[in-house]
Amino acid sequence: MLKKSIQTLPSASFALVMATGIIATASQLQGFTFVSTVLFWLNNLFFFVLLLLFIARLALFFPTVTAELRLHEKGTGFLTIIASSCILGTEYAQAKSAYGIATMFWVFAGVLWVVLVYTFLAGTILKRQKPSPETGMNGSWLLLIVCTQSVSILGGVLSSHTLLQTDAVLCISLLAFLLGVMLYFMLIAIDLYRLLFFPMKPEEAVPSYWINMGAAAITALSGITLSKGIQGHAVFGDLYSFVKAMSIMFWAMGSFWIPVILIMDIWRYAAKKWPLKYEAAFWSLVFPLGMYTVCSWRMEEVLPLPFLQSIAKVFIYIAWAAWLVTFIGMCVQLAKQVFNPSVSNEN
């Protein structure tokens, strides 16, 4: 049974770590120290258990993993490993001041970014049979932005607290931010084309479309984090106003997506009676809620308007509720797999 569970481990499993980590950060920012501490240590457990399972899957089922990495529908799920490493590293840097550990997470994530992103792109570009945007495109493609901006954020946090060359770390973070901005513009256009010009079936209105909002929010947070490092910098200081403007624009873009995706969810579960049951993709819904909470709280650093943190004070409760419901659903699913081995993992 364990071997079967390893074989069918969802590609986006590390979204659990992403969601837990960002909500821990949101809790810390708003002074909920106990909640933040509990989620931080839980997140360490989640990360290392999932990492062991992923390594086991890679060793035992290498052809399956590489084949899945080349799939338009699922390949981007592996990029959650990159984002989760950076989010956990950011937790170590900001909550524990453990900059050495955070630097190791950043380097690990950077290596994974090169390997996974280019392997995915090469696999999808070069394969002969390809799906149409109708079946091959969904919100999980925006994980290309999420993983890139997570590298930028952790680099921005570490730029003045690492043994690595400060300007080099800041430069990599700035380049990652700019790349993430361009990727968002390109991919969101394709995503909108799919949504607007192809029929939507209930099974296709998946929770991963929430990443449309999450990718915008993490881009805004990346800009906010980076702006603190480049302000007044001899080389990058001229870009401060641009980065600040991009942060505001992407926060607005993230806010725009919330009603759109809510309408899709209401249509799927209420109008079309799609069964509401746990699937691993629900962590892709929880993460954007936590990211929007953190982004709104930090936005006041570049746009000093008190109502922004008021928004975050509301969203923290929504994010907690979403995390708790999804976590309970995951535990129930795991219990069913233990007592009824015929139940398989949801991808």
Per residue in 222-263, pLDDT tens?
A: 999 999 889 888 899 999 999 999 999 999 999 999 999 999
The DSSP output letter for 11 is T
By C-alpha distance, which of 191, 240, 245 is closest to 214? 191
Instruction: Tell me the average pLDDT of the chain.
Output: 93
Residue 23 lies in a domain: yes
Residue 285 · residue 210 · CB < 8 Å: yes
Average pLDDT over residues 158-163: 84
Assign 161 a pLDDT band (cuts: 50, 70, 90).
confident
The answer to whether residues 88 and 34 touch, using CB atoms and an 8 Å cutoff, is no
| Residue 334, pLDDT score | 87
Per-residue pLDDT band for 347 (boundaries 50, 70, 90) equals very low
Is residue 138 predicted with pLDDT exceeding 60? Answer: yes
pLDDT of residue 185: 97
How many domains are there within the chain?
Answer: 1
Question: Would you say residue 281 lies in a domain?
Answer: yes
- Say if residues 301 and 224 touch (Cβ distance below 8 Å): yes
pLDDT at 136: 87
In a domain, 345, yes or no: no
Cβ neighbours, 10 Å, residue 244: 19
In a domain, 344, yes or no: no
> Count of residues for the chain?
347
Q: Is residue 347 part of a domain?
A: no
- Cα(336)–Cα(104) distance, integer angstroms: 37
Whether residue 339 is predicted with pLDDT greater than 80 in this model: the reply is no
Q: Is residue 142 part of a domain?
A: yes
* pLDDT for residue 224: 96
Distance between CA 290 and CA 105 in Å, rounded? 21
Residue 35: give the domain boundaries. 2-339
Dist. CA 60–CA 140, nearest whole Å: 26
**pLDDT over 70 at 79, yes or no:** yes
pLDDT (average), residues 292-308: 92
Instruction: Note whether 60 and 79 are within 8 A (CB).
Output: no
Percent of the chain with pLDDT over 90: 79
Is residue 21 domain-resident?
Answer: yes
The predicted-structure confidence for 167-213, as pLDDT tens digits, reads as follows 999 999 999 999 999 999 999 999 999 999 999 999 888 899 999 99
Question: What values do phi and psi take at 177, rounded to 5?
Answer: -60, -50
In a domain, 295, yes or no: yes
Average pLDDT over residues 30-57: 96
**CATH number (domain holding residue 90):** 1.50.10.150
Confidence band of 1 (pLDDT split at 50, 70, 90):
low
State mean pLDDT over 26-52. Answer: 97
Predicted pLDDT of residue 342: 61
